[in-house]
Each structure stands twice: as structure tokens, then as C-alpha cells.
Amino acid sequence: MKIVIAATDGMPEAVLTALGSKEFAKHSLKVIENNLNARETSQKPAEYCVQKPHITTNLGALGVSLTLKGVSRETRASEQFHRALQALHDLAEAILVDALKSAKNAPRVQLFCTMELDGDIKVPDAWGRGYSRLLEHPPVWLSAAGVEKGHE
């Protein structure tokens, strides 16, 4: 499993530093261990890794896309994937808001988290309907104050 992060050109350096930190990687892998029953992820760098953010073209607004790729369904229940994606979203949201607090003239940033699986699972009703191999947490707009209400 690999976490891939894309951030828009012009993202505050504090955000890029936080998302590319060992601390964020360790917490992200702990989410995978706790929710998807992975073991010793830090000792398997080819199987479990967190890629430092790469930069995407800025078309007028800032955003961060976080995707957990290469996820095998194995014997895991759908709810495990839902919990894992929610936990990754919550972690990224907290890291982003904290980093934005230290940025000069902190901008609004959209956060979008997804998970790519090797087969279809049931999608939570709050996130859509039916079955899919792509889980998408609803995107949110963030600022130094947290989630912007009306823009969740």
C-alpha cells in the first residue's frame, strides 16, 4: 500500500513540510495498521510507504489530494476500509489545519481523500451509493480555523 499526496503549486511551505514529514508518515502507517490489520509497516518499506507531496498545476485555488493505493480486499470487511479512509482524512485534516495556522496569510485549501482497492466493496451511504473499487471521502475546504462551514 502506498499513500500518494498531490498538492497544488503555491501551497504554503508549512503544509508541504508537514505532509512530507516522518511524523505524518508514521501516523499514516499507524492508521493502516490499526484499521486494515497490517503488521510492522515501518519494517516493510516496499510494501507500505508514504510518498512526499508532488506538485500539481495551480488553476486558481489550492488543494491537497491524498490517495491510498494498492489496497487488497483480502478478508477485510467493507467497514474496515471506511474506517481507514475516515481516519486518514481526519489525520490529514488535522495536519493541514495545524500547518495553515503557521502560514503567513493562510489560504483556503481543499482536501480530498480517496482509496483505490483491488475490487468492489459497499460504499457508505454518506459517501454515495452502491459498490465501487474507489472510495471517496467527501472533499472539504479548510483554513487555519478548521473546516469551513457550508463548504464541507
What is the structure's pLDDT at 150? 59
The grid coordinates of residue 83 equal: 474506517
Domains and CATH numbers, the chain: 2-147 (3.30.429)
What average pLDDT does the segment 10-36 reach? 96
pLDDT of residue 40: 94
Residue 68: its pLDDT value, please? 98
pTM over 0.85: yes
Q: What is the pLDDT of residues 57-110, one digit of tens each?
A: 999 999 999 999 999 998 899 999 999 999 999 999 999 999 999 988 888 999
Rounded average pLDDT over 7-21: 96
Instruction: Please determine, for residue 151, whether its predicted confidence score (pLDDT) is greater than 60.
Output: no
